[in-house]
């Protein structure tokens, strides 16, 4: 999926990469897939974290690991097939145990196509709990936030209707031995099944518990005036993920 054209490092705490979007990034209506957006986000975040000496190997050496708590994006303008886009990311100042990161996808003329944001935490692998110890980053944090409001989850699937089930497949598992975070966007997309006159403009996902290979995720949906909510629960009735998607008629 990733076809890297060039790398631009503006300063330590801000990182940009240019990619050429491929056919696999788009659905049958030639609109960028939610999965593709989140996959690009995690790709550039991973590369940048290595540069900042806060990558997977850096944390693992200290028995720690990053976990994604929540993420979201909004589309300002649809990208198109084979387009070259510049993706920029920067971490926000640490807030207690929360590590925020922003994302910006722009076209060749620096017009904004997509804005994104995510919240991470650091887990101690020995205790399997969130660590209060703050990771030290080089450089000065960029304080610019792309969203004014906070991500607020709806963890109650009250009045939601059963929409199907999803078995977690081996191809969806990453090196942390659980379902890759970007894969949840596929469950949401398939549940909503937007038509040719429906365009996903915003998506927000809250990750509640790990989904592992072989787990059956029961999927529920409810539509409201502020968006379409999709929830995933396991057979133990505990929440796996919750999400809100804004779909616009075109």
- At 3, is the pLDDT very low, low, confident or very high (cuts 50, 70, 90)? very low
Instruction: Name the residue among 162, 179, 212, 161 with its Cα closest to residue 38.
Output: 179
- At 105, is the pLDDT very low, low, confident or very high (cuts 50, 70, 90)? very high
Query: Quick check: 2 pLDDT over 70?
Result: no
- At 10, is the pLDDT very low, low, confident or very high (cuts 50, 70, 90)? very low
Query: Quick check: 156 pLDDT over 70?
Result: no
Give pLDDT, residue 6: 43
Contact 118, 160 (CB under 8 A): no
Query: Quick check: 4 pLDDT over 80?
Result: no
The β-bridge relationship of strands 84-91 and 216-224 is unpaired
Q: Tokens 């977690």: give the residue.
A: 168
DSSP letter for each residue of 47-101: HHHHHTT-SHHHHHTTTEEEEEEEEEEEESS---TT-EEEEEEEEPPPBTTBEEE
Tell me the domains of the chain and their CATH numbers. 4-130 (3.10.129.10), 161-249 (3.10.129.10)
Query: Quick check: 136 pLDDT over 60?
Result: yes
What's the first-to-final CA gap in the chain, in angstroms?
27
Predicted confidence (pLDDT) per residue in 181-203, tens digit: 999 999 999 999 999 999 999 99
Q: What is the pTM of this model?
A: 0.92
Predicted confidence (pLDDT) per residue in 71-91, tens digit: 999 999 999 998 999 999 999
């Amino acid at each position: 999926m990733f076809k890297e054209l060039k790398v631009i490092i503006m300063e330590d705490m801000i990182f940009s990469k240019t990619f050429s979007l491929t056919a696999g990034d788009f659905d049958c209506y030639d609109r960028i897939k939610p999965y593709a957006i989140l996959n690009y986000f995690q790709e550039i975040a991973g590369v940048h974290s290595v540069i900042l000496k806060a990558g997977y190997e850096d944390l693992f050496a200290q028995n720690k690991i990053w976990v994604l708590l929540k993420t979201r994006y909004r589309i300002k303008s649809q990208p198109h097939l084979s387009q070259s886009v510049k993706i920029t990311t920067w971490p926000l100042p640490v807030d207690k145990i929360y590590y925020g990161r922003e994302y910006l996808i722009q076209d060749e003329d620096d017009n904004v196509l997509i804005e994104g944001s995510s919240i991470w935490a650091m887990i101690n692998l020995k205790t399997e709990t969130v660590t209060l110890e703050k990771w030290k980053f080089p450089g000065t944090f960029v304080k610019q936030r792309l969203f004014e409001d906070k991500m607020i989850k709806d963890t109650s699937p009250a009045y939601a209707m059963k929409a199907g089930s999803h078995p977690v497949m081996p191809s969806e598992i990453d090196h942390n031995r659980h379902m890759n975070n970007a894969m949840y966007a596929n469950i949401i997309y398939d549940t909503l099944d937007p038509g040719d006159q429906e365009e996903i403009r915003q998506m927000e996902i809250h990750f509640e518990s790990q989904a592992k290979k072989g787990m059956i995720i029961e999927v529920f949906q409810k539509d409201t005036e502020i968006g379409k909510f999709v929830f995933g629960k396991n057979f133990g009735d505990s929440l796996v993920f919750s999400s809100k998607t804004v779909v616009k008629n075109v």
